[in-house]
């Protein structure tokens, strides 16, 4: 069964800092990997989708990389802002499911 | 606006009651999913459906039931057989294949 681990569990940084969130998964036979953000009490907002054949994907200040063979993905956030404060979840996909860890809770301090 | 609508946002259930959570999407997606989120745990799959009138159990289907009579709708019933139903429930949809999944805003269910 796919196990997903995200490190660190929580992160607090000053505004403007660049940061990296890490995700590891145990089964490399994935279809794709999505990164989401979740605000307290809200649903998940899709940030980036990386297909299994891709190495990275970029959207604005966000860049996600995928190393399927080693079971790792990273989310790079450039020039962090207080509005980036949220929980970030990575989700590798199987045939009919997304698998989730417990996420990284990010706080950006003004 | 295109998206996924879950209702109600908050729901309270008495012991022994069945309750139904609504999920509607206007994205023309074939696949729909129900997940449960508990504090300190990752989201877990309850049920999914890839086509009308067909659905499959996920990892934690016991105590839940679903129907898929229309492409746009995938309601979840939490039955009295679910012993610990208090949780945050999330509905999602996607096209079949390696495509992006989109989520609703969730329903928080509390047993009173």
Residue range A54-107, pLDDT digits in tens: 999 999 999 999 999 999 999 999 999 999 999 999 999 988 889 999 999 999
CA atoms of A59 and A50, how far apart (whole Å): 11
Cα gap B109→B89, rounded to integer Å: 7
Return the number of CB contacts < 8 Å for A and B.
60
Residues of B in contact with A68 (CB under 8 A): none
pLDDT confidence band for B1 (50 / 70 / 90): low
Nearest-5° angle of CA B96, CA B51, CA B84?
A: 95
**Shortest CA distance to B67 belongs to which of B21, B13, B25, B5?**
B21
Task: Identify the residue whose tokens are 């993905």.
Answer: A73
Distance CA A105, CA A78 (A): 17
Interfacial B residues in 13-52 facing A (CB < 8 Å): 31, 33, 35, 40-45, 48, 50
Supply the pLDDT for residue A96: 82
Whole-angstrom distance, CA of residue A94 vs CA of residue A107? 30
For B99, residues 6+ apart whose C-beta sits below 8 A from its C-beta are: A49
Provide Rg for chain A, Cα atoms. 13
Give contacts of B56 with chain A, Cβ < 8 Å: 96
- At residue B97, the pLDDT reads 76
* Record: contact B102-A32, CB cut-off 8 A: no
Residue of A7, A52, A97, A103 to mutate when probing chain B, most B C-beta within 10 A = A97
Q: Per-residue confidence at B40, pLDDT binned at 50, 70, 90?
A: confident
User: Binning pLDDT at 50, 70 and 90, where does residue B21 land?
Assistant: very high
A101 contacts in chain B (CB < 8 Å): 42
Bridge partners of residue B65, in order along the sequence = B77
In order of A108, B62, B89, B106, the CA distances from B45 in angstroms are 31, 11, 10, 14
| DSSP bridge partners of A63 | A58, A76
* Chain A residues in contact with B33 (beta carbon < 8 A): 97-98
The residue whose two tokens read 């590798």 is A92
SS3 A84: helix
Residue B8 structure tokens: 């109600």
CB contact under 8 A, A103 and B42: yes
Look at A98 and B101 and tell me if their CB atoms are within 8 Å: yes
Q: Tell me the per-residue pLDDT of A7-57, one tens digit each, with 9 for 90 and over.
A: 999 999 999 999 999 999 999 999 999 999 999 999 999 999 999 999 999
- What pLDDT is recorded for position A95? 83
User: CA B65, B21, A98: angle at the middle one, nearest 5?
Assistant: 70
Q: Do A44 and B6 touch (CB under 8 A)?
A: no
CA dihedral A82, A4, A36, A81 (to 10 degrees): 10
Q: Is the pLDDT of residue B90 over 70?
A: yes
Does the beta carbon of B65 lie under 8 angstroms from any beta carbon of chain A?
no
Residues 6 or more apart in contact with residue B64 via CB below 8 angstroms: B34, B46, B47, B76, B77, B78, B79, B82
């Amino acid at each position: 069964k796919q196990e997903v681990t995200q490190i660190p569990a929580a992160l607090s940084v000053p505004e403007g800092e660049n940061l990296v969130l890490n995700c590891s998964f145990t089964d490399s036979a994935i279809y794709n990997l999505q990164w989401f953000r979740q605000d307290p009490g809200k649903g998940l907002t899709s940030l980036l989708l990386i297909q299994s054949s891709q190495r990275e994907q970029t959207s604005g200040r966000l860049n996600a990389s995928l190393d399927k063979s080693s079971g790792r993905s990273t989310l790079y956030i450039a020039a962090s802002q207080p509005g980036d404060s949220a929980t970030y979840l990575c989700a590798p996909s199987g045939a009919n499911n997304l698998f989730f860890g417990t996420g990284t809770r990010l706080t950006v301090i003004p | 606006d295109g998206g996924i609508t879950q209702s109600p946002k908050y729901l309270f259930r008495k012991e022994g009651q069945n309750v139904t959570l609504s999920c509607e999407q206007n994205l023309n997606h074939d696949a729909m999913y129900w997940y449960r989120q508990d504090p300190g745990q990752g989201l877990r799959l309850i049920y999914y459906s890839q086509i009308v009138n067909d659905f499959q159990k996920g990892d934690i289907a016991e105590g839940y039931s679903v129907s898929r009579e229309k492409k746009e709708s995938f309601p979840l019933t939490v039955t009295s057989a679910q012993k610990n139903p208090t949780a945050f429930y999330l509905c999602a949809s996607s096209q079949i294949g390696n495509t992006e999944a989109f989520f609703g805003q969730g329903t928080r269910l509390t047993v009173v």
